[in-house]
């Protein structure tokens, strides 16, 4: 068997070829899964193209890869088809990637595939490839796909196919080719890219754009609060946020101050986790992910709210009176303090009422927005239905035109063929007549050349020669006349 046969056979069973770590979970010089063989034996692994692990009787080589034992070289016999006694056994492991309905999805198709699952998103390159660039992805190289869509940026793909040199494995398309692929926004047949991996998302993703007040209410409804900048970005400014960067342009609200947003999008990697004071979520130019056809989304993270008991408003102690016999109520200072406390209570009550009113307005706006979104979806569905109906009618009309043209062409072709056949028959008849005359003439000429004159005389009898009539022959007495 060849190394490639192991990959193909495992994938035909809905699995994948195991990696070195999966063959030998206990490390080198330890028995592999499935047991140690009593003679020299090698098994294909998916860590690199044409790499094998030793599972035979030599204890020093046991559970070590061929490339590690031979200075990075791979065996020539690993590409040969003929069977050898030391190769042929292999293990298949469970497939962690999901096979899509098509082998040629666009990046948007992959993005939406994961987004349909609550709390999921496309995996990033680092999640596909924990060992980094130039190494096999998690789960090994594959045959059924050369690329996989990643969350690092819109229309970005990572190399996971076994046909790539190992140095290019786990590289992004933009790193290999310098640009993003055109096939990533279309449905071209090649290259194969129909497998995908979805990962847990620490961000909450909400369709459409969300204002700061709506974000606050969203977290409050979950008995939480917006996360702070330090909670979003434990690694500091300029580093990816917790949960990974978002494709394109994206911002997230933070609790550090009112209407504060930090950059979490891949389009401004130098400004990651930094506050953008000019961001306005309702601006047409600032919709999250409003690029490359990605539907606008709002991203945020809600953190546990600090438990703070409601403060009890109490009157401060009165200042000492100059006369112990004077009642406190008669003191001007006590009266002023009491009025001040009352004003504070009224002010707090007014602020609470205003906050409650703002909350009700925000909730009403959210309900209205949800209703508008539902109406928009209904209109979109109606438009799609009308478009499908129009496309169906256009398809039928085009099909009728094609059939009419085909029938007309067939009729004209048949008439032309009938005329051609008639002309050909007449020409053939004339030619046959000419041939017949020619044959008769040849026979006659041959007979004329014959030495037997009787045949000639029989065929061409000599006609008697008539003597010319002389009028004088009828004269009886011509001399006398």
pLDDT tens column, 383-396 = 887 887 788 888 88
- Do 208 and 184 lie in one domain? The reply is no
pLDDT at 433 over 80: yes
pLDDT at 447 over 90: no
pLDDT at 71 over 50: yes
- Do 195 and 259 lie in one domain? The reply is no
- Do 208 and 181 lie in one domain? The reply is no
- Do 176 and 235 lie in one domain? The reply is no
Is 47 part of any domain? Answer: yes
pLDDT band at 85 (very low <50, low <70, confident <90, very high): confident
- Do 300 and 274 lie in one domain? The reply is yes
- Do 82 and 113 lie in one domain? The reply is no
Q: How far is CA 17 from the centre of its chain?
A: 24
Higher pLDDT, 64 or 481: 64
- Of the three residues 307, 341, 368, the one that is the final residue of a domain is 307
Q: What is the pLDDT of residue 179?
A: 94
Higher pLDDT, 335 or 420: 420
Q: How far apart are CA 481 and CA 471, in angstroms?
A: 14
| Average confidence (pLDDT) over 143-158 | 91
Q: What is the pLDDT of residue 240?
A: 86
Q: What is the pLDDT of residue 464?
A: 61
Q: How many domains does the chain have?
A: 3
Q: How far apart are CA 418 and CA 415, in angstroms?
A: 5
Higher pLDDT, 373 or 456: 373
- Do 148 and 221 lie in one domain? The reply is no
- Do 52 and 12 lie in one domain? The reply is yes
Is 300 part of any domain? Answer: yes
- Of the three residues 60, 94, 128, the one that is the final residue of a domain is 94
Task: Let me know: does 62 contact 32? Beta carbons within 8 Å.
Answer: yes
**Two structure tokens written together for 449:** 């050349």
Longest CA span, the chain = 219
- Do 221 and 274 lie in one domain? The reply is yes
- Percent of the chain exceeding pLDDT 70 equals 79
Is 22 part of any domain? Answer: yes
- Of the three residues 200, 230, 255, the one that is the final residue of a domain is 200
Higher pLDDT, 403 or 147: 147
Q: What is the pLDDT of residue 473?
A: 60
Is 290 part of any domain? Answer: yes
Q: How far apart are CA 464 and CA 399, in angstroms?
A: 85
Measured CA angle at 63 (ends 62, 64), to 5 deg: 95
pLDDT at 320 over 60: no
Residue 121 is part of which domain span?
98-200
Is 394 part of any domain? Answer: no
Crossing angle of the two packed helices 212-220 and 332-448, in degrees rounded to 10: 100
pLDDT at 319 over 50: no
- Do 170 and 188 lie in one domain? The reply is yes
Instruction: Quote the DSSP letter at residue 227.
Output: P
pLDDT in tens, 15-37: 999 999 999 999 999 999 989 99
**Two structure tokens written together for 250:** 């994206």
- Percent of the chain exceeding pLDDT 90 equals 34
Look up the pTM and report it: 0.57
Q: What is the pLDDT of residue 311?
A: 37
pLDDT in tens, 173-198: 999 999 999 999 988 888 989 999 99
- Do 226 and 250 lie in one domain? The reply is yes
pLDDT at 334 over 70: no
Q: What is the pLDDT of residue 339?
A: 54
Q: What is the pLDDT of residue 470?
A: 62
Give the number of other CB atoms < 10 A from CB of residue 160: 27
Q: How far apart are CA 8 and CA 35, in angstroms?
A: 23
Picking from 300, 364, 297, the residue whose alpha carbon sits closest to that of residue 114 is: 297
Could you check whether the bond before residue 191 is cis, i.e. omega within 30 degrees of 0? Answer: yes
Is 252 part of any domain? Answer: yes
| Average confidence (pLDDT) over 247-267 | 88
Is 459 part of any domain? Answer: no
pLDDT in tens, 6-16: 999 999 999 99
Measured CA angle at 202 (ends 196, 207), to 5 deg: 75
> What is the rounded end-to-end Cα distance, in angstroms, of the chain?
135
- Do 153 and 190 lie in one domain? The reply is yes
Task: Let me know: does 156 contact 139? Beta carbons within 8 Å.
Answer: no
> Mean pLDDT across the chain, nearest whole number?
81
Is 461 part of any domain? Answer: no
Q: What is the pLDDT of residue 287?
A: 47
| Average confidence (pLDDT) over 256-271 | 86
pLDDT at 129 over 90: yes
Picking from 64, 68, 4, the residue whose alpha carbon sits closest to that of residue 30 is: 64
């Amino acid at each position: 068997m060849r190394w490639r046969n192991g990959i193909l056979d495992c994938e035909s069973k809905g699995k994948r070829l195991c990696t070195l770590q999966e063959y030998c979970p206990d490390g080198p010089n330890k028995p592999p899964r499935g047991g140690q063989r009593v003679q020299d034996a090698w098994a294909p692994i998916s860590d690199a193209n044409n790499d094998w692990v030793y599972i035979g009787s030599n204890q020093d080589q046991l559970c070590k890869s061929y490339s590690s034992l031979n200075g990075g070289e791979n065996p020539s016999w690993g590409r040969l088809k003929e069977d050898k006694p030391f190769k042929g056994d292999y293990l298949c492991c469970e497939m962690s990637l999901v096979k899509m309905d098509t082998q040629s999805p666009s990046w948007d198709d992959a993005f939406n595939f994961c987004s349909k699952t609550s709390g999921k998103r496309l995996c990033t390159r680092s999640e596909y490839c924990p060992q980094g660039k130039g190494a096999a992805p998690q789960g090994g190289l594959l045959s059924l796909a050369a690329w996989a869509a990643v969350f690092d940026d819109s229309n970005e793909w990572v190399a996971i196919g076994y046909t790539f040199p190992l140095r290019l494995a786990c590289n992004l398309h933009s790193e290999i080719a310098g640009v993003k692929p055109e096939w990533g926004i279309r449905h071209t047949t090649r290259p194969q890219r129909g497998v995908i991996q979805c990962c847990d998302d620490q961000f909450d993703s909400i369709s459409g754009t969300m204002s700061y007040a709506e974000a606050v209410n969203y977290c409050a409804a979950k008995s939480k609060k917006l996360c702070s900048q330090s909670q979003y970005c434990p690694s500091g400014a300029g580093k990816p946020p917790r949960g990974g960067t978002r494709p394109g342009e994206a911002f997230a609200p933070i609790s550090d101050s009112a209407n504060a947003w930090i950059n979490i999008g891949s389009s401004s990697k130098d400004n990651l986790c930094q506050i953008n004071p000019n961001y306005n979520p309702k601006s047409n130019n600032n919709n999250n992910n409003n690029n490359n056809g990605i539907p606008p989304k709002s991203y945020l993270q809600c953190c546990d709210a600090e438990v703070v008991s409601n403060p009890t408003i109490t009157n401060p102690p009165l200042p000492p009176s100059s006369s112990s016999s004077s009642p406190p109520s008669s003191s001007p200072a006590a009266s002023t303090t009491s009025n001040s406390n009352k004003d504070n209570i009224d002010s707090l009550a007014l602020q609470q009422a205003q906050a409650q009113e703002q909350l009700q307005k925000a909730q009403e706006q959210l309900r209205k927005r949800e209703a508008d979104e539902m109406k928009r979806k209904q209109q979109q569905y109606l438009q799609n239905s009308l478009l499908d109906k129009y496309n169906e009618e256009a398809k039928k009309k085009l099909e009728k035109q094609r059939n009419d043209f085909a029938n007309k062409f067939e009729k004209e072709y048949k008439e032309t063929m009938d005329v051609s056949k008639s002309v050909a028959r007449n020409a053939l008849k004339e030619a046959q007549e000419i041939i017949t005359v020619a044959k008769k003439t040849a026979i006659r000429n041959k007979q004329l050349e014959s030495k037997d004159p009787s045949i000639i005389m029989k065929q061409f009898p000599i006609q008697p020669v008539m003597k010319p009539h002389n009028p004088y022959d009828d004269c009886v007495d011509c001399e006398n006349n």
